[in-house]
Every structure is written in C-alpha cells, then in structure tokens.
Structure 1
Amino acid sequence: MSAMADKIMKRIRGKGRGWVFTPKDFIDFGTRGAVDMALSRLTQSGAIRRVGRGLYDYPKLHAKLGVLSPDADSLAQAVSTQSGDKVFPSGAAAANRLGLSTQVPAKATYATSGPSRVKKVAGRTLALKHARTPLIDKASDRANAVVQAMAHLGRDNIDADTIRRFADRLDDNDMKVLIGSRPQMPGWMGDMVLKIGAARHG
C-alpha cells in the first residue's frame, strides 16, 4: 500500500467504523489527485467502500447481517463536507433528540444552509431543506438542536417546562454562543435564548 493510502487508512481507523467521508477529509495529506488515487486503491482492496459520487465509508460490520449501510446522520455530515453547506437534523428530529417529542420523523430530513434538495445516497433518501433559522457556525450539536427545535415548536408552544428542558441540555459555552448569535435569530427566538439563560441560573 502506498504511503498516502497508509496515512488515509490510519485516519479512517481513528474515526472508527461507520464513518462516511469525502476526499476533502484528507486534502491536508497532498494533492487531490493523489488522494483520489489512494481512495480508489483502498476501495479496490475492500478496506473501504464507495457509497456515492465522491463519498466513501468505513462500513460497520454485523455478526449476522454482515456489512451494514451507513447511517443517515453520517451521510448527511459527509454531504455537508462535500458541498460546504452546514447540515443539521431538522426541527422534528432535533426535538426528538432533546427528548421533547417521541415522534421519530419517517424520513431523514435535515436543515441546511444551502439550497433545498433531495439526495439519494447508499440506498437512503436524505431530504435537505433550506433552514429558516440560522445554523450557528461555532455552536455545538446540542446548541444547534435547541435552535432547530425552537423553530419547529414555534413561539406559542414553548412553555416554562420546555425552556427548563432546553436549559438542562446546554452548558456555559453553549449559552455564550447562543447569546452571541441572537442578532441572527428572529426576535422571539432571541428572547427565548435569554429565558433559557435565566432558567439555567434560576
């Protein structure tokens, strides 16, 4: 195996099985051509799998089922790397993750900073919808989940109990980022962020 393929494989193993990636994830190793060639060799050797145009994964293995399909979140993150757009689970999925709703969205739907589109990858359908609320650059997944869940629930459906639940899931750094991002949000959402901050110290 070439030195480039060795370096790439080391990073892939470090990320663990189930990781979905693009050539951009290794661009610090050398030229795009050299990266593409190394990925092609690794695919041919069976070390990794090509799951879409410019998308690969290090598949998870199951004792009975064999090689598993990549999960929707990992695919969405790789699509995000590929396009340069931010991608985050949509409002309904974010509310579910925060334990605010038991409803599991039937389709893998993501909010994106890019255009709305449907992408079929590795046998899965990802619905990417342009986010009506900002996807905050330096925010953690938790903080972005809170913003998307607020947008999904709407101003009139966020009560004191919901504010407390949001507050319980955020740390000091999350709050700092959210408060700093208030100018990007609709006014009512910025006010909710202040209430969440107050609930954390209340």
Structure 2
Amino acid sequence: MERPKVEAKVAEKLGTLPKGTVLFVDDFLDYGSPESIKKALLRLKEKGLLVRLAHGIYLYPKIDKEFGTLFPSTEDIAKAIARRDKSRIVPTGIQALNALRLSTQVPMKVVFLTDGAARIVKVGKRTITFKKTSPKNLLPKGPISNLAIQALKTIGQNNVDDDTLKKLQTILEKEKKENILHDAKLAPAWINKILMQAIK
C-alpha cells in the first residue's frame, strides 16, 4: 500500500509548488524512504508530471504553448543543488562573464567554486562542475563584485581592454560601496585596483 500513498503525497506537494521548480529526492523525505521517493518520482516522470534533468534531479515543468518545456538555466540548477547541499557557490569562467553580460557565449561546460562536495553533474548536453575551493574564494559579499573578480581572473591581467573596464565600471555602480571595499581586499592586487576605481 505504501507505493501509491507515497506517490499521491509527492504529487499533492507538487501541486503547491511553482512550475519550473528544480526538485530532489531530499525534498520529499517526509513522505517515505529515499527508495520509495525515488520510485514515486520516476513514476510521476513516466506520467509526464516531472522531467528528469539528471540523476536524482527533477523539474516540475513550466510549459509554454509556443516553446514547450521551459528548462532552467545552468545557474538555476547549480543554485538548487547548492541549496540542497547547504553549500555556497561562485560562478567562474565564461559563466561569470556571461552573468555580467561581458560575453554572449553560452557555455555548455560551467564551473562553480564551492565549499560543498566536488562533483560533476550532467544535464542533457550541459556539464556542471563543482570545484572545491578554499574558503577565501567564497568570502566576497557583493553579488556583482564577486562576479567581477571571477570574470577578471578569467580574462587575465594582460588581456583586459579599455572597453571591458568601462563596462565593468558601469556594472559595479550597481554594487554597494561597502561590498566593493570588502571584496577588493580579497582580490589580487591588479583586480583590487580595478574595483577601487569603481568607487572613486
């Protein structure tokens, strides 16, 4: 009797969630054992109520009349995994450049620094890598200044042109001054200089 009951409870919970929510087995452990939840999620996927994004990761899909299932961004999936693991993450590389609109390239392989477990998650053709890092890299407070540090590290000191600097200065105007002051101290000297110029 347990199987239909667990499935019914999971389906009922789904009805209370916003469409587009990324879900895990852990979200339903109040309703049964991990094994019974896994089976219930698979059955709901077979019924078309859920979409399986990766091993143990599901989507309560939002359906658009024109575009069909609307899939979450790589960043949204990474944030959901970080929430589940109660860990912090920071986008790096092209992902950081993209978040600041300094690049239009949509990376298929993204890397996030984390204080959680190192792992690789494959979502369709996309790959999300969580790379264990030292706590210092996760100390920046400002969402924009944090991204700016990672973006500049990706570009490299000798490749930062005036156009990029101008764009960065404009973007950093939206960051709180105290965040920039705090985060600049954690950055390499050449990045510190660029961040400090934004608050002059």
TM-score interval for Structure 1 and Structure 2 normalised by the shorter chain: 0.5 to 0.7
Aligned-pair CA distance for 1:59: 1.5
Where 2:87 maps in the other structure, the secondary structure is: coil
Distance 2:121 2:101 in 1: 27
TM-score by structure 1 length? 0.67
CA contact under 8 A between 2:51 and 2:58: conserved in structure 1? yes
Relative distance call for 1:65 and 1:101 in structure 2 (3 A) is closer
Percent identity, aligned pairs only, is 23
The match for 1:63 is: 65
Aligned length in residues: 186
Tell me the equivalent position of 2:102.
100
Instruction: For residue 121 of structure 1, report the CA deviation from its aligned partner.
Output: 3.2
How far apart are residue 23 of structure 1 and its match?
5.5
Q: Which residue of structure 1 lines up, in the alignment, with residue 31 of structure 2?
A: 34
| Rounded Cα–Cα distance in structure 1 between residues aligned with 2:176 and 2:111 | 21
Matches within 5 A, 1:1-202: 2=9, 6=12, 9-10=15-16, 12-13=17-18, 16-17=19-20, 19-22=21-24, 32-34=29-31, 44-45=43-44, 46-63=48-65, 66-102=68-104, 104-114=105-115, 117-122=119-124, 124-130=126-132, 134-136=137-139, 138-140=141-143, 142-171=144-173, 173-198=175-200
What SS does structure 2 have at the residue aligned with 1:197?
coil
For 2:75, what is the secondary structure of its paired residue? Answer: helix
* 130 and 162 in structure 1: CA distance in 2 versus 1, 3 angstrom threshold: farther
Where in structure 2 are there 5+ consecutive unaligned residues? 1-7
**TM-score, normalization by structure 2:** 0.68
CA RMSD of aligned residues (A): 3.6
> Conserved in 2, the CA contact under 8 Å of 1:118 and 1:126?
yes
Q: Kindly state the Cα deviation for residue 168 of structure 1 after the two structures are TM-superposed.
A: 1.3
Q: Which blocks of at least 5 consecutive residues in structure 1 are unaligned?
A: none
